[in-house]
Structure 1
Amino acid sequence: MEIEVSAEAKDKSLNRNVAITVVILSVFMGLCGIKDGNIVQAMQAAQSASVDGWNEYQATRTKLHIAETSRVQIAALAADPVRAAPVLATIDRDIAKYRAEAPRLAAQAKAQSDQYDALNVHDDQFDASDAAISTAISIAAVSALAESGWLLGAAWAFGAFGLFMGLCGFLGWGFHPALLSGLLG
């Protein structure tokens, strides 16, 4: 298949429409890129906080286990229960503290994980927007070369989907391209 490219296009309105399409989609894509970059930074912070939280939770659970084991051993092996009482009281306070801390730490870590998941939805929206708009711009360029109105229509369809996905990301809408994310993820 040969496409003849001439310096003088036959249909100036097609080229104007292509140019307007490319400008609008490129500007929107740039804005989406900035917002997506900020979301990715927030995702990294949430994931880091979640990992730190789960590590702190695990350390607290380990300290609880060690304190409980120590208490049992001291109580069993103490020759003089009166002398062991202050040590056991200190261990009991530690056990109570660890038991109180563990659920709070787990809840904080889970909240950070949930925040990551919520941000990931918007990251996926911006990724889908980027892919659709890039495809639209490519198709629009080919439509100008081939002087084909139907190709420009196809570019507009991809562009409309890309604009919709970008708006979903900006406005916090819950629409998620699960099928697309599943195929590409």
Structure 2
Amino acid sequence: MHPPTTETPVPETGKERLNSLIAITVAVLAALMGITKVKDDNIVQAMQQAKINAVDTWGEYQAKKLKHHLAEHSLTQLDALQLIAPTNSVSQFAALRQGYEAKIVRYEIEERELMAKARGFEAEYDKLNYRDDQFDLSDAALSVALCVLATASLANRRWLLVLAWVFGAIGIIMAIAGFLRLNLHPDWLVNILS
């Protein structure tokens, strides 16, 4: 039996310590990027569905609007025909008029409902887009942080590590804002990048 050996830890040099901090930071930021990527992709899918629903609903609205105009035009034609029709057909014209008027009322109601529904889908899209922007900004800041970390490792500069932490912190803050649905959205930056 050999007595247990105790190894004394070798003190890290400045470069080794810097590279250890860089490696830990890269691991944390890369893991966060993976998580935020999944969430961002899910938001993009929901945005696409909201846009599809809005476009479909506006198409349905346009179809109702067209039917509405056709019914109004049919009423005008019915009035013109009634002027030249024999007097014994008044009851038939009245029944046709009543049918067209009922359709017009129904179309007006359906148009309002479809318009409200389409605007609801557009509002949902805008709400999702706001959150998508947050995750996009998080991804951008985290990517910059990773690039700066690579440079810090190659150049052996601690100030670059600190700069990477600043970008990483911005990325983390934007990710938290996206997950918690916080009202944090630098519009000026989004407008520049959009």
Quick check: TM above 0.5? yes
Alpha-carbon distance in structure 2 between the residues aligned to 1:72 and 1:132: 63
Aligned length: 178
Aligned to 2:78: 74
| Structure 1 residue 83, shift from structure 2 partner | 1.7
SS of the counterpart of 2:139?
helix
Structure 1 residues 22-76: Cα deviation after superposition (integer angstroms, max 9, x where no partner): 0010000000000000000000000000001111111111111110111121023
State TM-score, norm by structure 1.
0.92
Alpha-carbon distance in structure 2 between the residues aligned to 1:129 and 1:139: 15
Alpha-carbon distance in structure 2 between the residues aligned to 1:68 and 1:81: 19
Alpha-carbon distance in structure 2 between the residues aligned to 1:167 and 1:82: 70
| Structure 1 residue 77, shift from structure 2 partner | 1.5
1:57 is matched by which residue type in structure 2?
Answer: Y
Aligned to 2:136: 127
Q: What are the ranges of 5 or more consecutive residues in structure 1 without an aligned counterpart?
A: 1-7
Q: 1:91 aligns with which of 82, 94, 100?
A: 100
Deviation above 4 Å: which 4+ runs of structure 1?
none
CA RMSD of aligned residues (A): 1.3
Structure of larger gyration radius: 2
1:30 is matched by which residue type in structure 2?
Answer: G
| Structure 1 residue 9, shift from structure 2 partner | 7.1
Aligned to 2:157: 148
State TM-score, norm by structure 2.
0.88
Aligned to 2:65: 61
Aligned to 2:48: 44
Percent identity between matched residues is 44
Q: What are the ranges of 5 or more consecutive residues in structure 2 without an aligned counterpart?
A: 1-11
Q: 2:178 aligns with which of 162, 169, 173?
A: 169
User: 1:124·1:177 contact (CA, 8 Å) conserved in 2?
Assistant: no
| Structure 1 residue 178, shift from structure 2 partner | 1.2
Q: 2:116 aligns with which of 104, 107, 111?
A: 107
Higher relative CO (Cα under 8 Å, sequence separation at least 6) belongs to 1
Aligned to 2:7: none
